[in-house]
């Protein structure tokens, strides 16, 4: 099977995997929200950044290094496996000892036991890094679906039952641990790889040369990605942090669905073209075009329909989160461009530039956060929108420099989809302000109008993605 066909099939299965897993996660999250209060999610938000740092230390960029290696051996897998296991134990020890200090920072003593128990998931996750890397190298996302979906269903069901029994935030902690455990067990079953005792310092050094920069870049990304929730939890309250964290969690589960599916497949697939700059550029242009075609209308339509959606599917105690959700959606509009431009650096092995970019953009984040903080929680959310826009330009600069993908070309690839989505989103918001329609009816009517209007206008203005799909259909008819 050709690489193009494997990539397309991989994208389809990756999309199905993410759609199923995130669909279950959304359903479980909504059920949990019915039994839990914003403060419970706020406690999870307080420790989320520290758990993410521990997981990043455990991984240390080895998974991406394994994916990127052209020729890989059993020794390479073994070396990465044992390295991740040792790092996972170290991560757990650091978090266990740091728990009292983290609790002191937030002045929330309940965090001590919560962090010490939740951190067990990091050790469990260290057993799955090699399996995930191997399946990703083979673009075998069907197998990943067999592991991820059952683990989400079982752990989610147990968490909902615990929340129903009144166990509060512990339902969320147990969900995280059980999800890691079942996922790891099923990955070992479907992937079939088993470690042996053959190790290599040379292999470790080769992977570390690439992975440590990815690790440092990832650490910066985690700290500053969670900087907003850290500040909100520290300065405002656990309740406000819970509303923000919940809105951001729903945004990630829904909006990042398509983006994550495409990125998950294109990184290993296009890594195979790292020596052919022309082919690499064409591949990334097509990725941006297709991703933007589906991504922009989804993120903007959800922002426009946020209020009636929250009114229908969530208890009144979560109503204020809809405004956070709207602004977070707007802050996510340029996420495809930022992510894909950074992926170019990863494929070409320029982790040095990636690290430098992360440092520069995080300095900008601190500046915007400080300015936004002067205007309260709304100012912090608006600061994220501004930061996303400003961060795009340094990302774009290096993709233009390395593969010749210019700002003019990028804007030309996405401007039609972005403008159509913005106009339709504004029309839906305007209609909601003027019309007194039951929320469910409004979502159905204007959701359909938005989708049909988007497809019709894209067709009339000859969207490059519409032409691309026509070309694929024409070729398939010829082959038949």
pLDDT in tens, 308-337: 999 998 888 999 999 999 999 999 888 877
Q: Give percent helix, percent strand, percent coil of the chain, each to the nearest 5.
A: 85, 0, 15
Least confident of 100-114, 352-366, 442-456: 352-366
Kindly report the backbone phi and psi dihedral angles of residue 314, in degrees, each rounded to the nearest multiple of 5, phi listed first: -130, 150
pLDDT at 17: 63
Question: Who wins on pLDDT, 276 or 304?
Answer: 304
The pLDDT mean for the chain works out to: 83
pLDDT tens digits, residue range 404-422? 777 788 888 888 999 999 9
Burial category of 473 from C-beta neighbours within 10 Å (exposed 0-12, middle 13-18, buried 19 and up): exposed
Spatial distance between the Cα atoms of 19 and 22, rounded to a whole number of angstroms: 5
pLDDT at 62: 75
In this model, does residue 230 exceed pLDDT 80?
yes
Return the half-sphere exposure (C-beta side, CA atoms, 13 A cut-off) of residue 232: 30
Least confident of 74-78, 343-347, 418-422: 343-347
pLDDT tens digits, residue range 42-54? 999 899 889 999 9
Spatial distance between the Cα atoms of 223 and 200, rounded to a whole number of angstroms: 32
Question: Who wins on pLDDT, 63 or 159?
Answer: 159
pLDDT at 269: 62
């Amino acid at each position: 099977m050709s690489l193009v066909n494997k990539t397309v099939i991989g994208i389809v299965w990756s999309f199905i995997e993410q759609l199923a897993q995130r669909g279950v996660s959304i359903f479980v999250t909504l059920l949990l929200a019915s039994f839990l209060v914003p403060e419970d999610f706020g406690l999870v938000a307080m420790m989320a950044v520290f758990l993410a740092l521990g997981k990043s230390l455990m991984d240390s960029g080895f998974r991406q290094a394994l994916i990127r290696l052209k020729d890989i051996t059993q020794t390479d897998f073994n070396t990465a496996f044992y390295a991740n296991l040792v790092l996972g134990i170290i991560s757990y020890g650091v978090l266990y000892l740091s728990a009292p200090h983290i609790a002191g920072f937030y002045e929330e003593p309940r965090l001590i036991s919560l962090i010490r128990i939740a951190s067990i998931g990091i050790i469990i996750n260290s057993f799955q890094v090699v399996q995930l890397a191997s399946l990703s190298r083979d673009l075998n996302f069907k197998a990943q679906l067999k592991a991820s979906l059952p683990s989400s269903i079982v752990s989610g069901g147990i968490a909902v039952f615990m929340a129903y029994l009144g166990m509060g935030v512990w339902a969320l902690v147990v969900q995280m641990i059980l999800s890691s455990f079942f996922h790891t067990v099923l990955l070992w079953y479907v992937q079939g790889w088993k470690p042996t005792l053959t190790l290599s310092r040379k292999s470790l050094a080769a992977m570390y040369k690439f992975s440590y920069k990815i690790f440092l870049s990832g650490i910066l990304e985690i700290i500053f990605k969670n900087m907003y929730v850290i500040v909100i939890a520290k300065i405002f309250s656990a309740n406000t942090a819970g509303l923000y964290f919940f809105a951001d969690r729903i945004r990630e589960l829904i909006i990042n669905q398509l983006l994550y599916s495409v990125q998950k497949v294109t990184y290993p697939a296009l890594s195979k073209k790292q020596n052919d700059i022309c082919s690499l550029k064409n591949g990334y242009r097509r990725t941006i075009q297709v991703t933007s075609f589906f991504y922009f209308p989804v993120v903007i339509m959800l922002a426009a329909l946020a209020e009636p959606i929250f009114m229908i599917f969530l208890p009144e105690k979560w109503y204020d989160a809809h405004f956070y959700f709207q602004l977070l959606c707007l802050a996510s509009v340029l996420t495809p461009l930022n992510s894909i431009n950074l992926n170019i650096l990863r494929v070409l092995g320029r982790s040095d530039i990636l690290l430098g970019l992360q440092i520069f953009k995080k300095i900008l984040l601190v500046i915007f956060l400080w300015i936004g903080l002067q205007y309260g929680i709304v100012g912090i959310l608006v600061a994220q929108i501004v930061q996303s826009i400003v961060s795009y330009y340094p990302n774009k600069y290096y993709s233009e420099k390395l593969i010749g993908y210019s700002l003019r070309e990028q804007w030309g690839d996405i401007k039609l989809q972005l403008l159509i989505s913005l106009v339709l989103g504004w029309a839906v918001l305007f209609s909601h302000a003027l019309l007194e329609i039951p929320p469910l009816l409004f979502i159905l009517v204007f959701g359909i109008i938005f989708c049909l209007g988007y497809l019709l206008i894209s067709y009339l203005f000859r969207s490059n993605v519409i032409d691309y799909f026509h070309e694929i259909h024409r070729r398939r008819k010829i082959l038949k």
